Amino acid sequence: MTPWHERLRLPALIALTVSAVALALLVGYALPQQPLLVVGGVVLMCVATFALAQPVLLPLLAMPLIVVVARFGAGPVDMTISDWMLGLAFWPALLFAPRPLSDPMRKLLWLNAIYQSATLFTLVANPYFANTVEWGHAWLLVSGALLVGWHVGASGHARLGVRLFLAACLALALPTIGQAILQYARGDFGAVYPQWPWPMHKNFIGNLMAIAAVLVYARPRWAGLSRRWALPLLLVLLSALAVSQARQAIVGLAVGILVVSLRRHGERRRATFALATAIPMVYIVLTMARDQIASGNIHNSWFQRLDWYADSIRIWREAPLVGHGLRYWTQAEAPAAFQPPNAFLEVMASTGVVGLAAFLTLWVGLIVVLLRMNADYGTLALALALSRLGQAQFDLFWVSIGVSAPFLLIGVCLGVASEAAERRQSRAGHESGALVSG
């Protein structure tokens, strides 16, 4: 019997044909006024055509493009390239990814569904457009990224997908280091805000480098990262992280390294190295915080965060049950114009105790599910999750790439674990069949 997702190919082909005709008409009408828009539409249609023939194409393209923070669009659809690519890759992953989903994958999707359902209360209580848009966006960043990563891993392309992601991170790390060298040569030893190939915040580049460094340090066997290339790549990523001076990213990296090392029983040298690496990282962060406290400058990031923490609690008390709505700080009549720099405070102020309870359920459940996985696949996934959660205790949580990139890689881990299990079952079936026939 033909699988249901295979039966969707004919309707998808019909829809694509209709879209191509509509695009041809649009080209004739809009070319004189909006040439760039037309070129973009034609490119999109070509990619969609190739994706129909090879559904894993868009999910694979999402692996490197997930790091692109440059924005494209206008008005309410002004989004990062990362979000656009994730949204495009989601549909072939939803319709054509290998089935059935594994038990851990289903559990993670259900956990996120619980959180999304709980945040519906704040949509009803705070009916404004950005609230509704962000509800869908948050769902895409977690469940959408998981499904896209699952498609890459379960279809046997995990090694290629991971290499594409790391290549994109390397392409951002090298210009960041180059800019730091030029900046230091001028006597400016402050944090580096990369300007090429597009402007980036220091916390963004730091967090991205931390995610990639956790992946390279874990170096799972299925990723095909040789020791010869892993060490220099790790040094480049750590250098880019260091010049960004993103302290919360250093904390996240330390958490990720500890998880990877301590879960691999019998590797005492690796665990010792992790402790010897993580402890100085945390010490550096604490020293930088101590210097900011001693400076007495009430406008530095330490005192500013303390003010934001207190203000976030005050804001939550004004709407304790369901909060002020997702991205309330973007509204003209918002109780405050800042996004709380802490995951739990942000969720609490945005969705109240209802949303916070569901958020805690999501994370506790996610940790339990990943802990129960085969360590060959679950260790990296758990390290990425806890690294992100640790970093988000001192920074923004619901930002597009900061959430989507780790969950995309977690999805790859889940997919490749399922694909490996199917291979083992198939091999065992062949062997048992050979024994019977013999």
pLDDT score of 55: 83
CA distance 157 to 116: 30
ω into 335 cis (within 30 of 0): no
pLDDT score of 180: 97
Name the residue with tokens 């940790």.
367
Task: For residue 34, give the DSSP letter.
Answer: -
CA distance 141 to 63: 14
pLDDT score of 27: 54
pLDDT score of 426: 72
Bridge partners for 79 per DSSP: 72
pLDDT score of 60: 94
CA distance 370 to 368: 6
CA distance 200 to 77: 20
pLDDT score of 334: 87
Q: Residues 403, 167, 83, 381: is their CA dihedral positive or negative?
A: negative
What does the domain layout of the chain look like in residue ranges? 10-24+49-418
Task: For residue 77, give the DSSP letter.
Answer: G
pLDDT score of 424: 81
- 31 CB contacts (<8 Å, ≥6 apart)? 38
CA distance 324 to 338: 13
Name the residue with tokens 């995610």.
211
At 79, give phi and psi (nearest 5°): -130, 165
Per-residue pLDDT of the chain (438 residues; tens, 9 = 90+): 455 455 655 666 566 556 555 655 555 555 555 555 555 556 666 666 666 668 888 899 999 999 999 887 655 567 888 998 999 899 889 988 999 999 999 999 999 999 999 999 999 999 999 999 999 999 999 999 999 999 999 999 999 999 999 999 999 999 999 999 999 999 999 999 999 999 999 999 999 999 999 999 999 999 999 888 999 999 999 999 999 999 899 989 989 998 998 886 555 555 555 555 556 655 555 555 554 445 555 555 655 777 888 999 999 999 999 999 999 999 988 888 889 999 999 999 999 999 999 999 999 999 999 999 999 999 999 999 999 999 998 888 999 899 999 999 999 999 999 999 988 887 766 556 555 555
CA distance 248 to 292: 15
At 412, give phi and psi (nearest 5°): -60, -45
pLDDT score of 302: 57
CA distance 281 to 255: 10
pLDDT score of 339: 92
Residue 293 one-letter amino acid:
I
CA distance 399 to 272: 34
CA distance 344 to 353: 10
CA nearest 195: which of 69, 74, 78?
69
Tell me the three state secondary structure of residue 72.
Answer: strand
Greatest alpha-carbon pair distance for the chain in Å reads 82
Q: What is the pTM of this model?
A: 0.87
Dihedral, 367, 309, 238, 144 alpha carbons, nearest 10: 50
> Tokens for 211?
């995610």
Scanning 296-338, the segments in alpha helix (DSSP H) are 301-318
pLDDT score of 305: 73
CA distance 379 to 6: 33
